[in-house]
A and B are shown apart, each in its own frame.
Chain A
Amino acid sequence: MLDQWRARIPAVWCPRRAAGGLLLALLLGTVVARAGIADHVVRSHEEGIDLILYPTPIRDVVTVVGSLPAGDALAPAGQSAVPTLTGMMLDRGAREGSAAGALLDKYAIASRLENVGAAVSFEVGNQTLDIRARCLAKDLPLVIELLAAQLRYPAFNRAEFERVRQQFIGAVRSSIDNSSYRARDTLNRALFAADDPNYPQPIDALLASARAAGVEDVQRFHREVYGPRGMILVLVGAVDTVAARKAVATAFRGWQGGREPLPGSRAGVTPPARQVVELASKPSVTVLLGQATGLRYRDPDSLALRVATSVLGHGFTGRLMSTVRDREGLTYGVGASINEDSYSGGAFVVSASFAPQLLDQGIDSTRRELRKWWAEGITEAELAQRKQSLVGTFQVGLSSTGGVAGALLSTAQRGLDLGWLDRYPELIRELQLPAVNAVIRRYLDPDRMTLVEVGTLPAAKEGTVPAAAPR
């Protein structure tokens, strides 16, 4: 792949750089573990927070990840922008220690962290507010104190809110021209019911909500939704478990409230067979082909479907890359994955990019491999190779605190006990071919999948085509 932009440039710029090359996605979400991981974890409930501590041999470094059910899906009716606006306000000022505590403006928060080389960030997703932090071990108490202040006592300054509102509107407007964003957005709105947590709010609604929102709206959302219930906090690295528990308990003492993540919608949808978003001057068309599975990660058939999906669409040895890219040269990247299934039923998605002149050929080839996989299943040899590969990723995933922290967090979010990470290799090895092939047909049907094309298409296409049949 290319490495055209190697500068000492802050990461905020990086997502807009060209990526490239021989890009590999991780196979089954995060599947990092090691034998006996559950035996080394210290898990407790501190002031209602699910606190997971995992000391490792690394010197000095602590990685913190966490989540709080405060995502877009919890937005009040007509206020789809409010969860993200609330999350964006967390680093724009907070009261120290209590609601009546000293005011730390955004520069004071930033200075305290930046002066010791630490970082705390928040990002709002469908279901959760995601928390990330990194610091030296000596600075962990400071980070926990600031984290608690930001989550519990955000200042909600009006002038800051106006700045945040404009930044939100700018970011949303930028996404209008982003073909990858538009494709995901379009597909998920086709696959999920409007009351499903995986249903993204339309761009127009986000912009209208942001323009109409006031600081009182984010204050109300914070008051009603933020709290320790449903919050998970994971600390990995040079962690003194006794001191860390005490620090978390002290910083969050007396905090109340919070929400649980939302279950999936029970309402059925009739997804269209094809949707097109035409953007000018996009010489590579982004293509997604997907179907809701109804499966959560913790459901019994989930692992088998993920393994089968990896045979189809993970890495260069996956069927899609080895045929559509390697043999036919039609695309730079094509793959398949299972997404958005931590809390509610997720989606099976094939993703690819094609030049306009190769678009139809590329889609035909992708569909051919998909149908063959669906109709014939995978082979015994493919299953054996994937099992070995998946178990191998356990070991490789051990190489960073971030990898271990991510695995612990996602396991907890999925409602699995942490011992599941230790059982994972055996669960993989136990999978049998008939069962794996059966789940492909049980949960998927290529004739009911929605095709999304975003970019500068070779000719005008119909915007929406009715589904083959209602689900």
Chain B
Amino acid sequence: MTLARTAALLVAALGIAATAAAAPPAVPPGSGFSLVRSLGGIDEYRLDANGLTVLLAHDASAPVVTFNVTYLVGSRNEVTGTTGATHLLEHLMFKGSRNFESAGGNSLKQYVERVGGNYNATTSTDRTHYFATVGRDALQGYIQVEADRMRNLSLRESDRQSEMTVVRNEFERGKNDPDNVLIEEVRAAAYEALPYHHPTIGWRSDIEHVPIERLREFYDTFYWPNNATVTVAGDFVPAQALGWIREYYGGYSASPKPIPPMYTEEPEQSGARRVTVKRPGELGTVLIAHKVPVGLDPDQAPLAVLDAILGDGKSARLYRELVDKGLALNAGAGVDVSHDLSLHMMYASLAPGAKQEEVEKALWTCLQAIQEHGVSVQELERVKHQWRAQQAYKRDGTAGVVSELNEYVSIGDWTLYVKFPEMVQKVTAADVQRVARRYFSEDTGTTGWFVPTRTGESK
């Protein structure tokens, strides 16, 4: 559930497609909502009372519904001393709210597990979201309990103490994997000023010491309806769902102060950067990272095509040049699409006997071939066919629709859920070569090596 923005960010479901052809829905008088726009079968509403954004994607092909609320707060809103606060707060959001507590037997966890739902929450650089997939009959109850924690979180010091060690173990589990450590260190080197510099889980000392007052301050700054988007996908009655959302969220005011912007900008990189992680392990890794435009930039479409040509499947160039030639066990490329400057990464897990130098060179060779000679029509068409098929696949279940919408919300425009696949279909070979030339050079890159020092087994 962690990979929120996957390779296949595509379009509409069966029900969604059917709705798309229909006229925009009327907003019942007195509903308290304004219809903002409709696209691809998704209707965007604004709750007049407090600015809450609501996206409805109706699909009655299965009697389930996924409900998601995304808050536009992530680790990009943290500073030294509060790194990891967004994530720790996400954990504390499950510790009870004014009207729903474990002691009362009606906490969110108890409710969702009793009705057999799947639920979770994730925190990233740009957003925090909470979601559940439940039977359609359990939707109202879930909205009620989810809405309560938007402004009525208990947020007790005793909970922080016990949850801090839980999060610290999550931090430690991440450190078990040398590739995770490598990614963190490459990001820290690639981003100098942007808060993407620090890991979303935070620095260990901040996790351990951030006071409850700072977490309360964080909550009171960002957890407001005008900083949130609710998404509902699946089998529900739209007017009824809007009524429940108004009933349970409508009592909150908008934030008393404007949501503070994150205004830091990344300075231009002035030369190649390198990171080496040395620790026990078996096989090495090479990671080459480049900063690329913000998530809303139109160049994200040709970058997505470039990455598919480089890394998707056995037809891809990295497979042929690295895996097939015995240099790597696997290799790929992708963009961590973000609200601010995104990060493009090419990687390869080394095969036994391969050296980091030759693998790094091979990765660059693949990229430089595209910079110099472009891509073929066949490669371009293959990727476009794959994207078209993915549009059908993402109708398969409601959780994927919501997860993808959530990611586009986090970078600032949910309509890319519909528009981005269309943008991919318009990408030309010249576009791919242009972005390959524009964004990738040794001087603007950050290269990371994981170098195993010895086998990790000590007995």
Q: Which residues of A contact B (CB under 8 A)?
A: 1-14, 16-24, 56-61, 63, 91, 106-107, 109-111, 113-118, 134-136, 163, 166-167, 169-171, 173-174, 176-177, 179, 237, 276-284, 315-317, 322, 325-332, 353-355, 358, 385, 388-396, 398-403, 455, 463
Q: When each residue 167-179 of chain B gets 1 if its CB lies under 8 Å from chain A and 0 otherwise, what string results?
A: 1111011111111
Alpha-carbon separation in the docked complex, A220 to B407 (Å): 49
**What is the minimal beta-carbon distance from A115 to any residue of chain B, in angstroms?**
5
CB neighbors of A among B154-204 (8 A): 161-170, 172-180, 183-184, 199-201
Question: With A166-B351, A396-B64 known to touch, is A7 a contact of B337 (CB < 8 Å)?
Answer: yes
**Does A61 contact B396, Cβ atoms closer than 8 Å?**
yes
What mask results when residues 264 to 287 of chain B are scored 1 for a CB within 8 Å of chain A, else 0?
A: 000000000000000111110000
CB distance from A77 to the nearest CB of B (A): 26
- Bound Cα distance from A327 to B96, whole angstroms: 13
A16 to B183, CA, bound (A): 11
B455, A355: Cβ atoms under 8 Å? no
Query: Contacts of B332 on A, CB cut-off 8 Å?
Result: 9-10, 12-13
Task: Tell me whether A389 and B113 are in contact in the complex, defined as CB-CB below 8 angstroms, given that A17-B3, A118-B389 are known contacts.
Answer: yes
Binding-face segment, B4-12, B38-46, B243-251, B366-374: B4-12
Flag if A278 contacts B457 (CB, 8 Å). Answer: yes
* Interface assignment of B117: CB less than 8 Å from any CB of chain A: yes
B222 on interface, CB distance cutoff 8 Å: no
Q: Residue A280 contacts which of B170, B324, B456 (CB distance < 8 angstroms)?
A: B456
Total number of B residues with any Cβ neighbor in A under 8 Å: 114
Task: State A11–B334 Cα separation when bound (angstroms).
Answer: 11
C-alpha gap A233/B335 in the complex (Å): 36
B307, CB-defined interface residue at 8 Å: yes
A379 to B64, CA, bound (A): 30
With a cutoff of 8 Å between Cβ atoms, the chain A residues found around residue B333 in the complex are: 9
Residues of A close to B330: CB separation below 8 A: 10, 12-13
Smallest CB separation, A307 vs chain B (Å):
13
Q: Which residues on A sit within 8 Å (CB–CB) of B14?
A: 57-59
Q: Which of A5, A22, A116, A332 contacts B183 (CB 8 A)?
A: A5
A6 touches B1 (CB 8 A): no
> Of B24-32, B133-141, B439-447, which binds chain A?
B133-141
Question: B173 contacts A114, CB within 8 Å?
Answer: no
| 6 more CB-based (< 8 A) A-B contacts, given A1-B120, A9-B347 | A5-B3, A21-B2, A56-B61, A114-B313, A117-B390, A316-B94
Task: Tell whether, in the assembled complex, residue B336 and residue A317 are in contact, meaning their CB atoms are under 8 Å apart.
Answer: no
Q: Considering only CB atoms, which chain B residue lies closest to A237 in the complex?
A: B396
**In whole angstroms, how far apart are the Cα atoms of A391 and B176 in the complex?**
37
The reply to whether A10 and B312 contact each other, CB–CB distance below 8 Å, is yes
Which residues on A sit within 8 Å (CB–CB) of B166?
A: 325, 329, 331-332
Among A8, A23, A278, which residue has its beta carbon within 8 angstroms of that of B6?
A: A8
Contact A277 B457 (CB under 8 A): yes
For B129, the closest partner residue in chain A by CB is: A3
Decide: A4 and B169 in contact? CB cutoff 8 A. Answer: no
Instruction: Tell me which residues across on chain A come within 8 A of B164, comparing CB atoms.
Output: 329
Selected from A8, A10, A331, the residue in CB contact (under 8 A) with B304 is: A8
Q: Which residues of B contact A (CB under 8 A)?
A: 1-7, 9, 14, 17, 61-64, 87, 90-91, 94, 102, 109-110, 113-125, 133-135, 138, 161-170, 172-180, 183-184, 199-201, 234, 279-283, 304, 307, 311-315, 323-324, 326, 329-330, 332-337, 343, 345, 347, 349, 351-352, 381-382, 385-390, 392-393, 395-399, 407, 452, 455-459
Q: Chain A contacts of B120 at CB under 8 A?
A: 1, 21-24
Given that A7-B334, A118-B389 are known contacts, is A2 also in contact with B200, CB under 8 Å in the complex? Answer: yes
Question: Which one of A20, A106, A281, A317 contacts B109 once the chains associate, using CB atoms below 8 Å?
Answer: A317
B174 touches A18 (CB 8 A): yes
Known A-B contacts A331-B169, A393-B116, A396-B135; A163 and B121 likewise in contact (beta carbons under 8 Å): no
Q: Which of B121, B177, B396 contacts A401 (CB 8 A)?
A: B396
A462 to B245, CA, bound (A): 58
Asked if residues A332 and B167 are in contact (CB atoms below 8 Å), the reply is yes
Q: Is the CB of B116 within 8 A of A17?
A: no
Pick the residue among A5, A6, A7, A63 that contacts B396 (CB under 8 A).
A63
Contact between A176 and B134, CB atoms less than 8 A apart: no
Residue pairs across A and B with Cβ atoms less than 8 A apart, 22 shown, are A3-B2, A4-B2, A9-B347, A12-B330, A17-B183, A18-B174, A23-B120, A167-B351, A281-B175, A281-B178, A281-B279, A282-B175, A328-B162, A353-B172, A355-B168, A355-B172, A388-B115, A389-B116, A392-B115, A396-B135, A399-B399, A463-B459
- Shortest distance in angstroms between A100's beta carbon and chain B's nearest beta carbon? 25
B293 shortest CB reach to chain A, Å: 14
Known: A2-B170, A284-B172, A329-B163. A388 touches B345 (CB 8 A): no
Chain A residues, Cβ within 8 Å of B168: 355
Which of A10, A24, A280, A332 touches B119 (beta carbons < 8 Å)? A24
Complex interface: chain A residues within 8 A of B199 (CB): 4
Given contacts A388-B116, A398-B62, contact A167 B281 (CB under 8 A): no
Contact indicator A20/B7 (Cβ below 8 Å)? no
Q: Which residues from chain A contact B5 at a C-beta distance below 8 Å?
A: 6-8
Contacts of A388 in B (CB 8 A): 114-116
The docked-state distance in angstroms from the alpha carbon of A60 to that of B323 is: 33
Minimum C-beta distance from B320 to chain A (A): 8
Judging by beta carbons under 8 Å apart, are A169 and B352 in contact? yes
Q: Among A18, A116, A118, A317, which residue has its beta carbon within 8 angstroms of that of B113?
A: A317
User: A24-B120, A332-B166 known; A399 and B345 CB under 8 Å?
Assistant: no
Partner of A59, one of B115, B337, B392: B392
Leading 4 A-B pairs by shortest Cβ distance: A392-B116, A117-B389, A329-B162, A9-B334
Q: In chain A, what residue has the closest Cβ to B17?
A: A59
Q: Are A392 and B172 in contact (CB under 8 A)?
A: no
Q: How far is the CB of A452 from chain B (nearest CB, A)?
A: 14
Most buried by A among B62, B335, B407: B62
With both chains docked as a complex, state the minimum distance between the C-beta of B274 and any C-beta of chain A, in angstroms. 21
From B170, B324, B326, B335, contact of A7 by CB (8 A): B335
Contacts of A91 in B (CB 8 A): 314
Name the distance in Å between A103's Cβ and chain B's nearest Cβ.
Answer: 16
Residue of chain A at shortest CB distance from B14: A59
Q: Which residue on chain A has the smallest CB distance to residue B115?
A: A392
Cβ of A173 and Cβ of B283 under 8 Å apart? yes
Instruction: Provide the residues of chain B in CB contact with A328, threshold 8 Å.
Output: 162
CA distance A363 to B297 in the complex (A): 50
CA distance A431 to B398 in the complex (A): 32
Q: Is the CB of A353 within 8 A of B169?
A: yes
Contact assessment for B315 and A107 in the assembled complex, using a CB-CB cutoff below 8 Å: yes
Contacts of A59 in B (CB 8 A): 14, 17, 392, 395
Which residues of chain A are within 8 angstroms of B122 by Cβ–Cβ distance? Answer: 1-3, 20-21
In the complex, A329 Cα to B390 Cα: how many Å?
Answer: 41
Q: Which of B2, B102, B381, B456 contacts A282 (CB 8 A)?
A: B456
